[in-house]
Amino acid sequence: MVNLGDEFPNFKADTTIGPIQFHEWMGDSWAILFSHPADFTPVCTTELSRVASLVPQFEERGVKVIALSCDSVESHQKWIDDIKSYGKHTCEDFPFPIIADEGRTLAVQLGMLDPSEKDKDGLPLTCRAVFILGPDKRLRLSMLYPATTGRNFDEILRAVDSLQLTDNKKVATPADWKSGGDCMVLPTVKESEVASAFPKGFSVLTVPSGKKYLRVTPQP
Ligand code: BEZ
């Protein structure tokens, strides 16, 4: 199990682009590892197709993506043909690698098994995990969805935008924030420092407690 802020394991794995050592594969990029219950399953096929469409948007943000499923590289390669056909992707090479975790070693190490979903042999499948890692290889955000609920990849892009913004600016992003929207000034910024730290201006919302903690500023 990896907690937020922990260094992500530097595992070795077989993938559709050959063997990788995870940290070397990441290089200096951000990375997203997302797992799937199994190859040739409907929701997973829609998810991998969606990510293939979004690769340019991940690249714009300096993020490399990699998928994982508990089947072999040979199985993944055949499945990729279906994913490309489903999504009408015309690329020759699939735009991101898929890890083969046939022995479920990574699924166990990363706490991704979903006991409620079993394969034909009764073995638990991986849930839909998402791990977003910073260039320092530390876990910045994780999500766990059950096999029956496909993920919203716009939300994952939105989360990357928030992580990258809040790394550099003294703001946090509120509920349903989208890139370009108003932000909240961090509680750690002293009242006397807000005006100089946020030259675009800020407003303090009035609340019954009288506390001045709802400080809104345009996205820096
Ligand atoms: C799917 O990808 O559609 C799926 C996989 C395992 C269990 C349920 C759904």
Given this model, what pLDDT does residue 171 score? Answer: 98
DSSP per residue, the chain:
---TTSBPP--EEEEBTEEEEHHHHHTTSEEEEEEES-SS-HHHHHHHHHHHHHHHHHHHTTEEEEEEESS-HHHHHHHHHHHHHHHT---SS-SS-EEE-TT-HHHHHTT-EEEEEE-TTSPEEE-EEEEEE-TTSBEEEEEEE-TTS---HHHHHHHHHHHHHHHHSSEE--TT--TTS-EEE-TTS-HHHHHHH-TT--EE---TT-----EEE---
CATH 3.40.30.10 residue ranges for the chain:
12-151
Known catalytic residue at 127: no
What ligand 1 atom has the least distance to the C-alpha of 44?
2
pLDDT, mean of residues 158-165: 98
Quick one: 169-217 is in which CATH superfamily?
Answer: Antioxidant, Horf6; Chain A, domain2 (3.30.1020.10)
Compute the distance from residue 113 Cα to the ligand 1 centre, in Å.
13
Question: What separation in Å is there between the alpha carbon of 143 and the centre of ligand 1?
Answer: 17
Closest C-alpha among 132, 134, 128 to residue 112: 128
Annotated catalytic residue, options 39, 44, 71, 183: 44
Q: Which atom of ligand 1 lies closest to the CA of 125?
A: 6
CATH 3.30.1020.10 in the chain is located at 169-217
Q: Note if 167 is an active site residue.
A: no
Distance between Cα 148 and ligand 1 center (Å): 6
**Would the pTM of this model clear 0.75, i.e. be above it?**
yes
Which of the pair, 91 or 160, is modelled with greater confidence?
A: 160
CATH H superfamily, domain 12-151 = Glutaredoxin (3.40.30.10)
When pLDDT is cut at 50, 70 and 90, the band that residue 57 belongs to is very high
Q: List residues near ligand 1 (CB under 6 A).
A: 37-38, 41-44, 117, 125, 147-148
pLDDT band at 117; cut points 50, 70, 90: confident
